[in-house]
A and B are shown apart, each in its own frame.
Chain A
């Protein structure tokens, strides 16, 4: 499976990018004539893209780089001008030879500037955009005023507070006082759009991001607008019918507090949350996520943008798959089982010393290792080192489900390719499990090391486990295998440690620690390193960075990548 990285033929030099010269707030910049649209297709560069290149902020609500442009919020209106053309279709020049700019004005009121929506207006050569002008500022103020007149202004009880674009832009671009003296429009509150989404219609600014996401990205045309004018209301085609596996993305997309997650609603003020860059473990896609935690409790996962993996999305199942991390029955103690079936809590040092002693006596071929493709690549690498010492059979457990057309992959292990590239598993994962079961039955395998899997579910039943001389198990939650362990080593959820995964497409991605482990639990790589050092008498790097770099040097498919080179978005390795 692992290929030696070959030097690919140098790709043909890309065609030169055609550039246009424009001015943003008086500063001349060069921008590409074409830029990717929401689907990645090259289209004429928009004013908004040009302003972003120029580093000028253009506030917006309905525009989202990954959604079709709607142009309805009008927040990105900017004043602009284009080179004036004479009757001979040649540019008119100022006395100093610079082109004369005709500022865009209302055709019926030439004294009034006319803005264009930056999100949908293509730039043209010589165009001048004024995102910082007084006229632009006035247009923004007016839009914000309109958005707020019927808004309930209930920030103190709104989940979005702290990450609300209405709040942020009101502070930066709005006006402090409202002139509105009429009665506000009242709309439905706490509407069940679907099982995971609750809508507060009064907070909605009708930007239609949720509608466009559901229709154009998730492929589920479940949302729309009912009623008319100021009474417009987002609705599911049938109450509660917004129920695809991507609905929670609309909560992220919602720039205000209208769409809320039933799971997160009223649980935590967002400014208390610590944000940690991580990766979802629910399938081999490896969606990039941000873990929101406070005082060692995880409160939410949110997708993190990565065009090479998940764009800006993640599935609902993966997003909500965090509660097990805080389960009260987590394994918290290092335990040694006695002959009578009772067990004692022992210190890590004792456990490592005794396991080392037992393994040192093991003869070659009498040890087997069942690892998990949910473990980090570094842990798998250490387990392989351990296995190599005894010529042990290794494998891990396949885990499959149904794939979908967007993100969910059929392989539900986050690190199958890590298991393969480290040599723990084979192309067909789990193919050697029967061999291990047979070895135990025949008595040739006397020692079994199991990490993160309940092998009783995979052909190595409790009867077989009872025949072993030594069963070392590390896991997170109790199961029949942990119950049979001679030595039970409590491990960590990915959110409690650092490491890397290699996703189904060969993207090597790292994740960072968000919360502290439970009880005695330690990151597996730490105690595995102690064990490997003791058993093999080889020096193993003491830091995760060093360990990764050592592993990378030993696996040609990694192409020599360093820990520091992985970055927040990962790198591709050869699979």
Chain B
């Protein structure tokens, strides 16, 4: 076999136009906890390179370990082949420095939000740091539902480049992403974000700037009301879930959903909504608070409303006794 000569392709283009650069060939993610990992995998599995930023090497290693496990889980359930896994992982890089975002067309903030006020300041810092290292055309987005994008954008040099991009990480295969246009966001940026959504096979749903957007606000309300039903003894945990699944065609009941999201996150979301709207209906239910205090966060700790095995499968007939009744 003769040797293969390698050349650059650019000069063989027919038209004189400059070759357009690939858009969204590389995306940055800040923070690679559970949510960041979900976003990273979602994007990398669509053939796009992802660089994620963490605080230290240990967190990077942990994130990789957990992502490998998540992919193995998919392979075990026939969702992808081990070849797909290799390809996806080869597209992901961990970093400790913002300067590695330099080639990214989009950087998504996915840092853990402890409380709204606390995270807002950190996020503003993150946004500024990102802006210092990316090109003028790069888009900066947050996955947070409680932060208002206009607020986050306000310190930036180019405020038009910011949008909110909320992925449903509890259902990574869900084909939607909520997109919020801030006060400053330009039409061009919104158009590009729509293109990006299509690239990763999601339908962008336009949502007005409002804490909790659609998914979180309605999701936690449902969970909260389910807790009330449970406390009032209207139905058992399993029956409430069962009715919602069979009766309303949901794939998870409210308690199963809460366990999947993570109960500490549910509480955080509700606290944020309560602070924002001041409506008591957003006060986290005492049942959830009780579980969170006991560090029963749901699937990831194998205990929440239900109990789970190491692989995250629900153990049959094993619910937590969360409602204290003295009636024997």
- Chains A and B bind each other: no
Interface residues of B (CB under 8 A from A): none
